[in-house]
Chains A and B, each alone.
Chain A
Amino acid sequence: MDDKTGQPNVTDGELYLSGIPHDRFTEMRATPGLVWHPYSDGGFWAVTRHGDVKTVSKNADTYSSAIRHTNLWDLEADALDARRSLIDTDAPDHTRLRRLIATSFTPKNIRRWENTVRQIAVTLLDAFIEKGRGDWVAEVAAPLPIQVILTMMGVPLEDADYLVELSNFLVEGTGEQQSLPADAFGNTTELGLLPFNSPASHALFEYGEKIGELRRKDPQDDLVTSLVQAEEQGDRLNGVEYRNLFHLLIFAGNETTRTALSHGAVALADFGDQWQRVLDDPALIEQASEEILRWSTPVLHMRRTTSKPTTLAGTEIGPGQKVVLWYASANRDEDVFTAPTKFDVGRQDNPHVAFGGGGPHTCLGAFLARLEVNVLLEEMVKRNIRLTRMSDPRRTPSNFVHGILEVEMKVEHR
């Protein structure tokens, strides 16, 4: 509980150990205007309704990503400069960076990876079925997306476990406590200058530099090569931008879809009737994937900062104020979704904001994520399997990533 308001503090990472505080978000959605939510440095405007999340997302001139940080806490200018990536830039820098990488993630170019995704999914799924039970996160949900993004980037698959481990440390950096000492991985950089304040970022930067160096000498047909070539052409990508983009691709390319695949499996196990509908009618797979994305909402929020005075939902907002987009709340907005608390694989109209509320920062990897979820469901349907949950999900104590660290599943053929 927060001392002053007597309300649950939705920024308390520990709260998420028992799931998203949906009751509090429901109250905030029903409150006229925007709710001012306390935070250690004062507070922020909590944007919890679907329509308001879209309005803020699409008006990037007013609601900036480049001012002071896109996470809850403010950064000093030097830290912001050291971390600049696609996430915390506005046009024109954002447009330049996004165009550099965006063509690799368009629908038609992502479709070219379908066989690769399927091969990886089949190998993992068949191994899991063979064992009969195990930790779904470690055996399927985590390895699938990391292996796919590493293949696209041209990073050796042998290093998948190491890079997943680094990602886990990065998520820890969004919470109150980190298990790593500041000098872990030989880090000597001030933590404030590293993404997620984590020494794991230093390790990821170093890894990116090493593979970048290799590709400079010996170019391949992969994403890392195209990034270092853009860097060599001078004005398109500088060294800091390269390492931050590498960092972002590894982190966002595995952490988010891992979360969707974890929550998806839990939902399909817990709501057996919904999985039966998919088994009976595989034409529902795409809708089921979209529902899994809505249900899981892998990224719980992002923050914007106003560049000028504005008004949202009748609330006046001054310049330089924090505005936090709670995707986890917008995806349960009763004004947009019929029976939002029901997991419904047949949901017809599903304008979820799991990839953001539109605007220039819409998830770059959305089509890749969809492909991964779709292909895994297709292969599960083909094998006519049923998942049974054998343990409570062990959740991530984070207000930012809706993660599951571990969940024991049993798998049966029907």
Chain B
Amino acid sequence: MTTSESFAPKSVSVAVDNQVCAAGGQCEMLEPEMFSVDDETAIATVTGDGKLSPERAATLVDRCPSGAIYVDG
């Protein structure tokens, strides 16, 4: 019998608050596959699936100069 308990690493979703982002570019440097700063709006957008390990997500939140990145479930 298998249990419903999972031992695989959980992932969380990250998102960008577009009111707060000031194009610091740290997210694009740390996760180039997942974030891109738009040249027109100067706002970072999530270009990948936005899924990261909780630890990596915490790093992204910590390093965002504007405080625009947050964990969104």
Can you list, as one digit per residue, whether each of B6-38 has a CB less than 8 Å from chain A (1) or not (0)?
000000000000001011111011001000111
Q: State whether B23 touches A103 (Cβ < 8 A).
A: yes
Q: State whether A362 touches B32 (Cβ < 8 A).
A: no
Chain B: minimal CB distance from A112 (Å): 11
Let me know if A413 is at the binding interface, CB within 8 A.
no
Q: Which of A58, A106, A360 has a CB less than 8 Å from the CB of B37? A: A106
CB-CB under 8 A from A102, the residues of chain B are 22-25, 37, 42
Interface of A is mostly: helix
Let me know if B63 is at the binding interface, CB within 8 A.
yes
Let me know if B66 is at the binding interface, CB within 8 A.
yes
Q: For the complex, what is the distance from the CA of A100 to the CA of B28, rounded to whole Å?
A: 18
Q: For the complex, what is the distance from the CA of A375 to the CA of B63, rounded to whole Å?
A: 24
Let me know if B54 is at the binding interface, CB within 8 A.
no
Q: For the complex, what is the distance from the CA of A105 to the CA of B42, rounded to whole Å?
A: 10
Q: State whether A107 touches B24 (Cβ < 8 A).
A: no
Q: For the complex, what is the distance from the CA of A358 to the CA of B29, rounded to whole Å?
A: 15
Let me know if A98 is at the binding interface, CB within 8 A.
yes
Let me know if B65 is at the binding interface, CB within 8 A.
yes
Let me know if A338 is at the binding interface, CB within 8 A.
no
Q: State whether A106 touches B65 (Cβ < 8 A).
A: no
Chain B: minimal CB distance from A88 (Å): 16
CB-CB under 8 A from B23, the residues of chain A are 98-99, 102-103, 106
Chain B: minimal CB distance from A62 (Å): 13
Q: State whether B24 touches A109 (Cβ < 8 A).
A: no
Most chain-B Cβ atoms within 10 A of its Cβ — which of A94, A105, A358?
Answer: A358
Q: A58-B67, A107-B32, A367-B29 are in contact. Are A362 and B24 (CB under 8 A)?
A: yes
Let me know if A108 is at the binding interface, CB within 8 A.
yes
Let me know if A95 is at the binding interface, CB within 8 A.
yes
Let me know if B39 is at the binding interface, CB within 8 A.
yes
Chain B: minimal CB distance from A336 (Å): 14
Q: For the complex, what is the distance from the CA of A105 to the CA of B37, rounded to whole Å?
A: 10
Let me know if A359 is at the binding interface, CB within 8 A.
yes
Chain B: minimal CB distance from A300 (Å): 20
Q: For the complex, what is the distance from the CA of A360 to the CA of B64, rounded to whole Å?
A: 9
Q: For the complex, what is the distance from the CA of A327 to the CA of B23, rounded to whole Å?
A: 23
Can you list, as one digit per residue, whether each of A355-373 has a CB less than 8 Å from chain B (1) or not (0)?
0001111100001000000
Q: State whether B25 touches A94 (Cβ < 8 A).
A: no
Q: For the complex, what is the distance from the CA of A135 to the CA of B50, rounded to whole Å?
A: 49
Q: State whether B66 touches A108 (Cβ < 8 A).
A: no
Q: State whether B37 touches A358 (Cβ < 8 A).
A: no
Q: Which of A98, A108, A358, A367 has a CB less than 8 Å from the CB of B62? A: A358
Q: Which of B20, B42, B65 has a CB less than 8 Å from the CB of A103? A: B42
Chain A: minimal CB distance from B38 (Å): 8
CB-CB under 8 A from B42, the residues of chain A are 98-100, 102-103
CB-CB under 8 A from B24, the residues of chain A are 102, 360, 362
Nearest B residue to A99 via CB reads: B42
Q: Which of B22, B37, B63 has a CB less than 8 Å from the CB of A95? A: B22
CB-CB under 8 A from B38, the residues of chain A are 103
Q: State whether B36 touches A360 (Cβ < 8 A).
A: no
Most chain-B Cβ atoms within 10 A of its Cβ — which of A58, A107, A109, A361?
Answer: A107
Those of A79-130 within 8 Å (CB) of chain B: 94-95, 98-100, 102-103, 105-109
Most chain-A Cβ atoms within 10 A of its Cβ — which of B36, B63, B67?
Answer: B67
Q: A358-B63, A360-B65, A362-B65 are in contact. Are A105 and B22 (CB under 8 A)?
A: no
Q: A358-B62, A358-B65, A359-B65 are in contact. Are A103 and B37 (CB under 8 A)?
A: yes
Q: State whether A106 touches B63 (Cβ < 8 A).
A: no
Q: For the complex, what is the distance from the CA of A146 to the CA of B24, rounded to whole Å?
A: 22
Chain B: minimal CB distance from A398 (Å): 26
Q: For the complex, what is the distance from the CA of A95 to the CA of B37, rounded to whole Å?
A: 15
Q: State whether B25 touches A360 (Cβ < 8 A).
A: no
Q: A-B pairs with the 3 shortest C-beta distances?
A: A102-B23, A362-B65, A99-B42
Given contacts A99-B22, A103-B42, could you give 9 more A-B pairs where the C-beta distance is less than 8 Å? A102-B37, A102-B42, A103-B39, A106-B28, A107-B25, A107-B28, A107-B29, A358-B63, A360-B67
